[in-house]
Amino acid sequence: MQHCLHLLTFASTMVDMAKLQVTDGVKDTVKDTVGGLGEYLREQRRQAQLSLRQLSEAADVSNPYLSQIERGLRRPSAEVLQQIAKALRISAESLYVRAGILDADESGARMVEDAIALDPLLTERQKSALVDIYRSFVGTDDAVGDVIADELSGQTENTDVQEDTAP
């Protein structure tokens, strides 16, 4: 009986240690993400030739809080990141990705669609067509994307693909 009790105690201790390792791993990942964000923000601020105080005023964020973000001690909210991005004149999405708020794939697709939507040289019809084409490439497998690319370039040799002739 006492042997079983020792085994249970040992098993319980091992489970607790495993939980600590998982928790530490998650903390390390968050710490790396926040630290990487801080370094990136500091570099962007320096490239913009702004002091910490100037950026804090432009972003309407307190100087100590911004300093803590840059040093990787604080994880800012999406709203604060948006204010900082606006003050630095960089993409808020890039900060969201670095902060782990947004997936890089989602951000890339959104940035492409935003660029199309904001292009003043394109008509609304052209914008719509470009977004549809882009979505067809990223929303399907490569084989379908290749067929669409061939059709657009006029090099379609595949007779298995039927053209849609409906009005």
What's the whole-number mean pLDDT along residues 85-91?
A: 92
Provide mean pLDDT across the span 141-153. Answer: 47
On the question of pLDDT at 80 being above 90, the answer is yes
The listed range with the strongest mean pLDDT (76-85, 101-110, 149-158) is 76-85
Task: Tell me the residue length of the chain.
Answer: 167
- State the CATH class of domain 2-102: mainly alpha
pLDDT greater than 60 at residue 71: yes
- With a cut of 70, say whether residue 150 has pLDDT above it: no
pLDDT band at residue 54 under the 50/70/90 scheme? very high
pLDDT (tens digit, 9 = 90+) per residue, 5-34?
444 455 455 555 555 554 444 444 444 455
Average of per-residue pLDDT values in the chain: 73
Predicted confidence at residue 40, as pLDDT, reads 92
Looking at 4-18, 80-94, 111-125, which range is the least confident one?
A: 4-18
pTM of the predicted model, to two decimals? 0.48
Contacts of residue 115, defined as CB under 8 A and 6 or more positions apart, other chains included, come to: none
Q: Between 85 and 16, where is the model more confident?
A: 85
Please state the domain extents for the chain. 2-102, 106-153
In this structure, of 72-81, 99-108, 129-138, the range with the lowest mean pLDDT score is: 99-108
Tokens 């470009």 locate to 130
